[in-house]
Structure 1
Amino acid sequence: MPIDTVERFLAALDPHHREHVQGLPREEQEKFAAAWEKELWQDTDLDTLSELSPAAAESEAATRVARKLME
């Protein structure tokens, strides 16, 4: 069974941000996950990192999104 985007986003987050996002309504979690996918797609610096470590690129993008949207 495929993992949905919200679950992938939550898995990529560090524990502190994950706890915060998990406490949000599902619609907000989906907003964060969509922004995360956009960050992964658009940031060319993450392309290089993803070639070395896909998990690290996903984590970096998740942290960036969480910081932006939690401000």
Structure 2
Amino acid sequence: MPTDAVGRFLAALDPHHREIFTSRPREDQERLVAAWERELASDDELDTLDELSPPAAEAEAARRVMDLES
């Protein structure tokens, strides 16, 4: 399991979003990862999900961040 933020974000993405993410410039990738970390830290609903399944919480936050970019 990746321990750096970019690696964790990539692991949380579905294949379609992963392809979109990796095609973006590094600056955009870093901005998306920062948004993902903020989403994980600030959403109480994700806190509850994180207690049950950390990977599911990370995947949901990643989906939300990428959907905002669409």
Scaled by the length of structure 1, what TM-score is found? 0.91
Unmatched tracts of structure 2, length 5 or more = none
Residue matched to 1:40: 40
Instruction: Tell me the residue number matched to 2:31.
Output: 31
Aligned positions, number: 69
**Runs of 4 or more consecutive aligned structure 1 residues displaced over 6 Å after TM superposition:** none
- Structure 1 residue 8 corresponds to structure 2 residue 14: no
Query: Which deviates further from its counterpart, 6-15 or 54-63?
Result: 6-15
2:66 corresponds to which letter in structure 1?
Answer: A
Per-residue CA shift, 1:14-49, capped at 9, x if unaligned?
000001100001111000000000000000000000
Unaligned runs of 5+ in 1: none
Give me the CA root mean square deviation.
Answer: 1.1
